[in-house]
Structure formats: C-alpha cells, structure tokens
C-alpha cells in the first residue's frame, strides 16, 4: 500500500489541503574529478541534470549540495556561485549530492489550479452528455484518483498504479473533512485547512490502510 | 457528533443536553436583541451557517446522490432530520406544482421544555431549522425558502414547516455534474 499524497481542492479551485505521505527519498552523493562529466543547467531556480545519467544520478535530478554545503538557487550557502565553483579545476575533487526535486507549496497550488479546468474540460469533451470529470488519471508511475462531492469539493489521492480501493479511502477522507474541518468552529470555508485534528486523523487513517488494507477501515 | 467505528451508529448524545443548550442560545439572543424580529433573523442566519457545513456531513455519511426532483429532496431532508435530530417528520401537503411541501412534527426536540411567554408570541422559536435547510440546499445548488405555518408552542396541534423550491442555482453546479 503506497499513497504518495492527498490533496483537497475547494469549490472555487484553490488548493486547501495537501499532505505528502510516503514519497521515497532518493538522494545520491558522489565524488567527481575535473572536468565534470555531467551536464548541468540552471532552470526554474534549480540546478538540474540535463544529460549524462549514471550511478543513480538521473536526468531531472537537482543538485542539493556541494561538499556538504547546501545549494539555494544557483548559489552555495557561503555565497559562491555554483557554476564558478564547478568550472574551477582547483576546487576538485568535489562531493556533489543529487536528488529528486521537491515540489514547493507554490508549485502545488499552481498544479491544483491547473487540474481544475482539466477536470471541467474532460466533462465537456465527453461524447455522452452528463459525463463526470476526471475520476482516474493514470501514468506509468502513479495513478491519480479524484472524487468530487455534490458540493463541488475535490478530493485527490496520488497512489501507486496497482493500488486498489482508493474510492473507499477518498470517501473516508471526505468523512474526516466533514468532521474535523467543517465542524471546527474556527475553520472558515474555502480557506486552507489548518486543523491539527484533521491532520492526525488523516495520518492514522493512512497508517491503518497501509498496515491492514482498505477493507479494514 | 464525531464518531468512530461503524458510521451510522453515531455516538449518541442525550437530546436534553441539546435542547437545553439551544434554549440557552435563544434566551441569550432575546436578552441581547430585545426585538423579537431580530432574534428570528439571527436564528435563521446561525442556522444557515450550520447548514452549509452540515450538508457535507450528511453527504459523507449517507452517500446520497444528487436530487433531480423535489420529492427526492423532501425525502433527503426527512432523512436528515432522522439522522441529526432523531425525529422523522411526515411529508404532506404537496402543492399541485410539486414545488412546495410541509414537514409535520409530532414533537420537536428543540421545544421539549419550552413555554412561550406572552411578550414573545411572534418569536419563531425553532427558526434555526429554516436556516439549516436553506444553507444545506444552497450548497447542493438549490435555492429554497422555508417557514413555520403551525407551531405547537402557539397552540397548534402539530408543528408544520413549509418548504418551497425557488430555483436551481445553475451557475454554481460543479463541472462534470450538469
């Protein structure tokens, strides 16, 4: 049982909740000598591997640290520019750590609001009238399950493709939402859910499902 | 009404506690406003705010689908009363056009220990219910109005709540639903 993440999108299309569940962390550290045999570029405020995949360092991975010093943007935390360090032969050998890039909260909000029109388009493209929107979106590495309530709130779960019983999980999350978010008098509708009780109950729901399977909740 | 275990066996709360709490709320409003009309309005507004949240609980618990007919809606509202208040009102007095019906209550849990004093005969004691119904229906894209036509507190033999369908809120229907 692997659920990668849970998202809730409000009636008006804003991301009001996200929870990263079980995303395996992939990081590789390796010592490099001059000249560097990996092509790196600066893109979207990250330094990304574009070519020269090997030893667990994949195209698309980002540079996390140089000699243990973390990288932010194209700068090291001590103020030096990463590309200047990498071009200077005197600095070598260098210990570079690469990993999969993490989505920032802003990127998640952006993607959630992209899904909203996609869902609407899907229902309009349908050859049959009165089609629902996207309920399942499948890729080779994940499957996205979406459940829209009658009031227009969307619950989404990103999970492994072969994962069964996600509809049950989505309904359970809806119940938790109606209990611990909506019945909290200090939660205002359409706003991001910052309710600790909701978080803990969601976490324990996901843990139970992970250990005992969907049929036991 | 938070609950564990099987869904429909909700953790039961003694209804007297609820009745008394509601009584405290109404009497506090009477002190705060003095004008009975304002109290009626406030109760309705509070009910509305409860309704827009409570509908999600109803939907999550009953897994009911969308209503395409007001008769469905009537049954769902009746089910809601059973679920949240433990009473089953009778659905009667359909208008010929099928857009208006009444819910008749033999007993109303909100008014169990209540006698209206003479100076507030215009008080709609259980007016919070009209707000709850309006709020809940609005969230599923239906505009309704409701009002009390008979009230046991005012000497009628039953309490009767009339509910009228106004329109479907077409703009608000979520994509992939219409």
Task: Specify whether the CB–CB gap between B92 and B104 falls below 8 A.
Answer: yes
Task: Tell how strand A154-159 and strand A143-148 pair up.
Answer: antiparallel
* DSSP alpha helix (H) spans, B86-165: 128-139
The confidence band for B7, taking pLDDT boundaries of 50, 70 and 90, is very low
Cα separation, B160 vs B104, in Å, equals 5
Q: Tell me the chain A residues in contact with residue B6 when contact means C-beta distances shorter than 8 Å.
A: none
Inter-chain residue contact A183 with B53, CB threshold 8 Å: yes
Residue B54 predicted with pLDDT over 90? yes
pLDDT of residue B5: 43
Rounded Cα distance, B126 and B22, in Å: 9
* pLDDT for residue B22: 94
Nearest residue on chain A to B173, alpha-carbon basis = A152
- The reply to whether A115 touches chain B by the CB within 8 Å rule is no
In contact, A47 and A71? CB cutoff 8 Å? yes
What would the DSSP string read from start to end of chain B?
----SSSSSPPP--HHHHHHHHHHHHHHHHHHH--HHHHHHHHHHHHHHHHHHHHHHHHHHH-----SSHHHHHHHHHHHHHHHHS--PEEE---TTSSEEEEEES--GGGTT----GGGTT--TTTHHHHHHHHHHHHTTEEEEEEEEE-GGGT-SSEEEEEEEEEE-GGGSPTT--
d(C-alpha A64, C-alpha A71), whole Å = 6
A147 touches chain B (CB under 8 A): no
Using a CB-CB cut-off of 8 Å, the residues of chain A touching B176 are: 119-120, 122-123, 131-133, 148
In which region does residue B63 sit, left (phi positive, over 0), alpha (psi from -120 to 50) or beta (all else)?
Answer: left
A71 neighbors A82 (Cβ within 8 angstroms): yes
Cα of B152 to nearest chain A Cα, Å: 31
Compute the distance between CA of residue A169 and CA of residue A88 in angstroms, rounded to an integer: 53
Q: How far is B50 from chain A (nearest CA, A)?
A: 9
Which of B55, B56, B176 shows the shortest C-beta gap to A120? B176
Among chain B residues, the shortest Cα distance to A126 is held by B176
- The interface predicted TM-score (ipTM) is 0.85
Is B4 a residue whose pLDDT tops 50? no
Q: Does A155 touch chain B (CB under 8 A)?
A: no
Whole-number pLDDT of residue A58: 85
Min distance A160 CA to chain B CA atoms (Å): 25
Residue B1 pLDDT: 44
Phi, psi torsion values for A51, nearest 5 degrees: -160, 155
User: Residues 7-36, chain B: which have Cβ within 8 Å of A?
Assistant: 7
pTM of the complete model: 0.85
Stretch B43-62: mean pLDDT: 94
Q: Rounded to a whole number, what is the distance in Å from the CA of B84 to chain A's nearest CA?
A: 14
Alpha helices in chain A (DSSP H): 82-87, 105-125, 166-176, 196-212
For chain A, give the percent of residues with pLDDT over 90: 35
Query: Cβ separation of B172 and A152 shorter than 8 Å?
Result: yes
Burial of A112 (0-12, 13-18, 19+ CB in 10 A): buried
Peptide bond into A35 cis (omega under 30): yes
Contact B52, A189 (CB under 8 A): yes
Residue-wise pLDDT tens for chain A (217 aa)?
788 999 999 988 899 999 988 777 778 888 888 888 888 988 888 899 888 887 888 888 888 888 888 888 888 888 888 888 888 888 888 888 988 888 888 989 999 989 999 998 888 888 888 888 899 999 998 999 999 999 999 999 999 999 888 999 999 999 999 999 988 888 888 899 999 999 999 999 999 988 887 777 7
A175 touches chain B (CB under 8 A): yes
Q: How many Å lie between the alpha carbon of B117 and the closest alpha carbon of chain A?
A: 32
Mean pLDDT of all residues in chain B?
A: 88
- The neighbouring-strand residues paired with B164 are B100, B145
CB spacing of A177 vs B59 below 8 angstroms: no
Cβ separation A183–B174 shorter than 8 A: no
Q: Cβ of B66 under 8 Å from any chain A Cβ? A: yes
CB A32 within 8 A of CB A49: no
CB contact under 8 A, B60 and A174: yes
Mean pLDDT of B19-30: 93
Q: Which residues of B touch A180 (CB under 8 A)?
A: 2
For chain B, say whether A189 makes contact (Cβ under 8 Å): yes
When pLDDT is cut at 50, 70 and 90, the band that residue B13 belongs to is: confident
Q: Name every chain A residue with its beta carbon within 8 A of the beta carbon of B60.
A: 149, 171, 174-175, 177-178
pLDDT tens digits, B85-119:
989 999 999 999 999 999 999 988 888 888 888 88
Grade residue B3 by pLDDT with cuts at 50, 70 and 90.
Answer: very low
DSSP letter (8 states) at residue B158: S
Burial class, B59, CB count within 10 angstroms (exposed 0-12 / middle 13-18 / buried 19+): buried
Q: With CB atoms and an 8 Å threshold, state whether A189 touches B7.
A: no
Does an H or E element contain A145, and which? strand A143-148
**Amino acid B177: pLDDT:** 59
């Amino acid at each position: 049982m692997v659920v990668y993440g849970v998202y809730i999108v409000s009636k008006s299309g804003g991301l009001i909740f996200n929870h990263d569940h079980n995303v395996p962390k992939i990081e590789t550290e390796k010592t490099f000598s001059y000249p560097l045999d990996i092509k790196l570029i600066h893109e979207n405020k990250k330094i990304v591997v574009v070519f020269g995949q090997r030893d667990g360092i994949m195209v698309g991975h980002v540079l996390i640290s140089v000699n243990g010093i973390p990288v932010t943007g194209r700068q090291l935390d001590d103020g030096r520019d990463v590309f200047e360090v990498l071009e200077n032969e005197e600095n070598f050998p260098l210990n570079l750590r690469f990993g999969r890039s993490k989505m920032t909260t802003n990127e998640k909000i952006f993607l959630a609001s992209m899904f909203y029109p996609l869902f609407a388009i899907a229902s309009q493209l349908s050859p049959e009238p009165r089609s629902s929107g996207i309920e399942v979106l499948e890729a080779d590495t994940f499957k996205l399950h979406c459940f829209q309530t009658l009031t227009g709130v969307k619950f989404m779960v990103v999970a492994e493709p072969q994962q069964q019983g996600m509809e049950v999980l989505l309904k359970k999350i809806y119940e938790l939402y109606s209990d611990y978010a909506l019945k909290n008098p200090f939660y205002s509708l359409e706003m991001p859910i910052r309710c600790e009780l909701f978080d803990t109950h969601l976490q324990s729901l996901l843990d139970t499902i992970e250990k005992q399977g969907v049929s036991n909740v | 009404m938070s609950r564990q275990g099987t869904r429909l066996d909700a953790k039961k709360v003694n209804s007297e506690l609820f009745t008394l709490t509601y009584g405290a709320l109404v009497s506090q409003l009477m002190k705060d406003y003095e004008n009975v009309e304002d109290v009626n309005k406030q109760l309705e507004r509070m009910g509305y705010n409860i309704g827009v949240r409570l509908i999600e609980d109803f939907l999550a618990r009953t897994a009911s689908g969308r209503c395409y007919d007001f008769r469905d809606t009537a049954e769902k509202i009746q089910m809601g009363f059973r679920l949240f208040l433990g009473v089953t009102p009778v659905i009667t007095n359909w208008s010929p056009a099928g857009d208006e019906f009444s819910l008749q209550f033999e007993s109303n849990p909100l008014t169990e220990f209540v006698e209206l004093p003479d100076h507030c005969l215009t008080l709609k004691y259980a007016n919070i219910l009209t707000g709850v119904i309006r709020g809940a229906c609005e969230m599923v894209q239906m505009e309704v109005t409701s009002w009390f036509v008979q009230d046991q507190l005012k000497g009628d033999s039953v309490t009767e709540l009339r509910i009228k369908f106004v329109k479907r809120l077409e703009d608000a229907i979520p994509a992939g639903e219409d």
